Structure 1
Amino acid sequence: MNKLSFSITYEAYEGLQELDERDQSLCKDAVKALKTSWSPYSNFKVGTAVRLSGGEVILGSNQENLAYPSGLCAERVALFTIGASRPDAVIETMVITAHTDNFKITTPVTCCGACLQVMAEFERKQGKEIEVLFYCIDGQVLKVQGIKSLLPFVFVEKRLENGAEQIYPL
C-alpha cells in the first residue's frame, strides 16, 4: 500500500479592492448575473461571469425548476451557452458569486461537483486551464488556477474518447 497526498495552491484576497481591474470588473459582472437567477424554491441566487480570451464576457445564473433535478447551476448555464454559441472560444477566467435574502453569506460559495466536471471538460477541450474566482460579495475572494486543484480525481475514461485525446490533449 502507498499512502499518497496532494495539496493545492490558491490565493485569498480580503476583498474586491485587492484584485486587478479586469478581475474586479468580472466580479461585478457576476453580481449583475444574479438578477437573472430563477430561484423561487431555494431563494439562493448564483451568478457567474466568464471571460473569454478575446475579452468578451458571458453571464450565467442558476435556473431552478419545481422538479429539482431539472434545474441548472449558473456555471453550467454559462458554459453550455459558450459551448453552443462559441464552440471555439477559449475561457480564461470564471467568477462565481451568490446571494440570498435568507441569511448573510460570509464566505465564498464554491461549485458543485457536476459543475467542476463540466469545467474540467472545457479545460480538456481548449487545452488550457481556467482561472476560477469565488467571490463573496463585500468579502473574501479565492482564486484558483485550474480545475484539477478543485477536483483532483476528475472523471476521465480514455476508452470513451474515440480519438478525442488527439483533439483535446490536456
Structure 2
Amino acid sequence: MKEIKIETLLNVYETLDELPKDVVDLMKRAMEARDKSYSPYSKFSVGTALLLENNEIITGSNQENASYPSGLCAERTAIFYAGAQFPDVVIKRMAIIAGSRLKITDKPIPPCGACRQSIAEYEIKQDSPIEIYFMGEKGKVVRSHSLANLLPLVFDKTVL
C-alpha cells in the first residue's frame, strides 16, 4: 500500500476591501446576479459572475423548480451560458456569493459538487485554470487559484 497526501492551498481575505478593485467589481456583479435568484423553496440565493478573456462578464443565479432536480445552480447557469455564447473564449475568473434569505450567512460558501464537476470540465477544455472567489453574503472571501484545489481527484474525459 502507498499513502498519498492531497493538500489544498486557498487564500482567505477578511473582507472584500482586501481584494483588488477588479475582483471587487466582479463580486459586485455576482451580488447583483444573486438578487435575480429564483429560490422560493430553499430561500437560498446564489449569484455568480464570470470574467472571460475577451473582458465579457457573464452572470447567473440559481433557478429553482418545484420538481427539485429540474433547477440549476448559479455557477452552472453562468458557465453553461458562457460555453454556449462564447465557446472558444477562456474563462479567467469566477465570483460566487451565496446565502440564505432566512438568516445572515457570513461564512464562505463554495460551489456544490455538481458545479465543481462542471467547472472542472471547462478548466480541462480550455487547458487553463479558472480563478474562483467565493463568500457568504458578508464576511470572509476565499480565493482558489484553480478548481483543481476544490476538486483534486477530478473525473474527466481521460477515464471514458
Is the shorter-chain TM-score for this pair beyond 0.5, marking a shared fold? yes
1:132-143 aligned within 5 A: 132-143=132-143
Where 1:65 maps in the other structure, the secondary structure is coil
Q: Distance in 1 between matches of 2:138 and 2:117?
A: 28
Residue equivalent to 2:31: 31
State the identity %.
44
Q: Distance in 1 between matches of 2:159 and 2:110?
A: 31
Q: Distance in 1 between matches of 2:96 and 2:13?
A: 15
Q: Which has the larger radius of gyration?
A: 1
TM-score, with structure 1 as normaliser: 0.91
TM-score, with structure 2 as normaliser: 0.96
CA contact (8 A) 1:27 1:135 kept: no
Q: Which residue type is aligned with residue 130 of structure 1?
A: I
Q: Distance in 2 between matches of 1:88 and 1:156?
A: 19
Runs of at least 5 residues in structure 1 that lack an aligned partner in the other structure: 161-170
Residue equivalent to 2:22: 22
Distance 1:159 1:108, change over 3 A: closer
Where 1:36 maps in the other structure, the secondary structure is coil
Q: Distance in 1 between matches of 2:27 and 2:154?
A: 26
Where 2:45 maps in the other structure, the secondary structure is strand
CA contact (8 A) 2:62 2:74 kept: yes
Shift of 1:159: 5.4
Residue equivalent to 1:168: none
1:80-119 aligned within 5 A: 80-119=80-119
RMSD: 1.1
